[in-house]
Chain A
């Protein structure tokens, strides 16, 4: 199977959907002629033209508001918010407008749109360009929240998000853009709300999202090779809808649960999952669920400091080993 980068998968996913449906339009800062600051939209302007791929001013509220108005009246917009940290300056649309209009209007208003945004650490950009903010969106009823970890999932989940009738916040991880993965030729459409077991195992369940997925996979290989621990790695992929059946099924098999979260500790996505598991599968557990997260601090810029705070394969291996041995 051919390999492509996560970055090229974004381009291919958007192009696949724009080619399929003329109502799919794309807007954002520097996304058209410049091809995006992460070069994840190169060629779309040339392929689909200036009416469908549009550069905006630095006006995040205008970008998301315009996407919503277009979605309400018949288009299927994809909007880019360059860095997910900038969601804070247009949070009204994410928190108050997209997710509540259908409910408040008793079902009259529709909002089929996708907000793509560059999420996560690893670029040494400091505390305002590196955060993992998927939990900011997970807490809001009415939104869907997706964070792919591989090129194939980028295409399939982006297609599913564009075709979904609800507003979807699509978190692309900046540190994954250059990574490669196998992607089949032809159209790819995945399903929102489905987690994926990437590595089966019997001794422990490790849940991970986005950049934490390859780290969890590496840790699982080392746990097996160095300590004889057979860990199951589950890529959560979609926080809303949340595939609890897959997660509960894995816990029922391994009886131990670990979450690997890039977000700062308080109210990370893993906390919600752990609470559900405690509620519904407490007697399946042979030990306390353990959350492996970034500590509850703003992210530092310096590379040695940033590297210390994010969960690493080393930290995952150590945490799982110690927990299972105790």
Chain B
């Protein structure tokens, strides 16, 4: 595998500003650091028994969430999976809201009614995190259908794992989106494992998403999901296509999760040395090198690191101090009248 250094363009040839530019690169860096710090904190809080229920971390996959979110415009919609912390944070949701939900406190994004797997913040365009594999691909199609019908220019972006490519809803949604030419972008985060089983052991083609694209008349798009620049550029292209009314895209991003599938999983099924090899390709490590090549100093980066850490520290303290949800929200919002009455 080529190293990041081999692939990086010579900064001298590009000058210090290419198509991405310093401001956007700093935003991509800040976003990735923020996702990393917030999720590492979630893991620490889990070890302290302060994060309840389950949690599925995206440690090692930050370039995908950051790259897509930075390419999205206000009004674009994100549809996430149970592994949705990173995608939610990347749209600008405060760390406190996410950690509060993981800690099941009243200050959480949904006041503890949804939990880690269902993060939703419609004001930030996060239209839900879906814990039934594949369910949200058709839902993203529907949001895109509304945009098409109403003449809106927003794009629906649907993130899912490699395991999702083997469920029926994936295929129904891809065909549906292609036939109706919907402004939806499907993003497969291929982290090589469905849960505990290598995706290659249970899939008929080597690339679970990209190799299916042709079945739906779509371009085969397979990218390095650990390089935020590559992700960002790919996202921009797919969004432009969607906004131009030219239909959906299916993008497979190769990546690797540094932790297990969920908090219950130490990841012992992975061959020895695999994690270490992928940590060499850590998206944050790659991006720090990239920033240096574009003339951004260590000091600038560590200033960002410090600011982000402070946000995460402050959020942690706020969550620890926050009350648990009051019992009176138990029966609210079952129906649109705000209550739960099913009879008179």
Contacts and interface: CB of A to CB of B under 8 A. Distances in A.
A69 B139 contact: yes
Contact of A51 (B109, B134, B137, B149): B149
B172 A59 contact: yes
Nearest to B110: A106
A242 B342 contact: yes
B344 interface: yes
A298 interface: no
A68 B142 contact: yes
Given A141-B340, A142-B334, A62 B114 contact: no
Contacts of B134: 61
Contact of A69 (B115, B138, B329, B335): B138
Contacts, number: 166
A62 B144 contact: no
Nearest to A164: B336
A70 B142 contact: yes
Contacts of B173: 61-62, 65
B110 A69 contact: no
A102 B342 contact: no
B150 interface: yes
Contacts of B338: 107
Contact of A102 (B127, B142, B333): B333
A67 interface: yes
Contact of B150 (A69, A74, A101, A165): A74
Contact of B169 (A25, A61, A69, A107): A61
A166 B122 CA distance: 18
B122 A106 contact: no
Interface in A235-256: 240-245
A181 to B, nearest CB: 26
B343 interface: yes
Given A57-B176, A66-B145, A106 B139 contact: no
A64 B109 CA distance: 27
Interface in A78-136: 92-93, 96-97, 101-110, 112
B111 A62 contact: no
A4 B193 CA distance: 58
A119 B120 CA distance: 35
Contact of B135 (A73, A93, A104): A93
B172 A104 contact: no
A233 to B, nearest CB: 20
B343 A241 contact: yes
Interface centre among B150, B176, B179, B329 (most CB of A within 10 A): B176
Nearest to A276: B343
B146 interface: yes
A57 B338 CA distance: 36
Interface in B92-147: 109-111, 113-115, 118, 120-122, 127-128, 130, 132, 134-147
B341 interface: yes
Given A51-B149, A65-B139, A74-B150, A105 B110 contact: yes
Given A66-B142, A69-B139, A69-B140, A56 B176 contact: yes
Contacts of A97: 130, 132, 135, 139
B11 interface: no
B332 interface: yes
Contacts of A105: 110, 113-114, 118, 120, 122, 128
A43 interface: no
A246 B248 CA distance: 51
A301 interface: no
Interface centre among B110, B115, B122, B138 (most CB of A within 10 A): B138
A61 B138 contact: yes
B332 A107 contact: yes
Nearest to A112: B336
B168 interface: yes
B336 A64 contact: no
A144 B337 CA distance: 13
Contacts of B109: 106
A42 interface: no
B40 interface: no
Given A106-B111, A107-B332, A241-B344, A69 B145 contact: yes
Interface of B: 77, 109-111, 113-115, 118, 120-122, 127-128, 130, 132, 134-147, 149-150, 156, 168-169, 172-173, 175-176, 179-180, 329, 332-338, 340-344
